Amino acid sequence: MTHGPGLEDLPRRHAPQVLGALVRRFGHFAPAEDTAQEAAREANGRARKRLRRRGCSR
């Protein structure tokens, strides 16, 4: 079973909104960008692990 391209593109599609929210909240671009990238990597890694456990791989 495979998932459509929407799942993998999700962090990329929403990164500008997440980054904007972090900058507005905390006021500093560089740390907000680092935090958003780290969160996207973490979410991607967790999603891949869950999909592998369920027998879904690409």
pLDDT at 4 over 60: no
pLDDT given for residue 6 in this prediction: 61
pLDDT higher than threshold 60 for residue 5: no
Cα distance between residue 37 and residue 53, in whole Å: 25
- The string of DSSP codes covering the chain is ----HHHHHHHHHHHHHHHHHHHHHH--HHHHHHHHHHHHHHHHHHHHHHHHHTT---
Read off the pLDDT of residues 14-56 as tens digits, 9 standing for 90 and up.
Answer: 889 999 999 999 999 999 999 999 988 898 888 888 888 888 7
Residue type (1 letter), 52:
R
Stronger pLDDT, 57 or 19, i.e. the higher one: 19
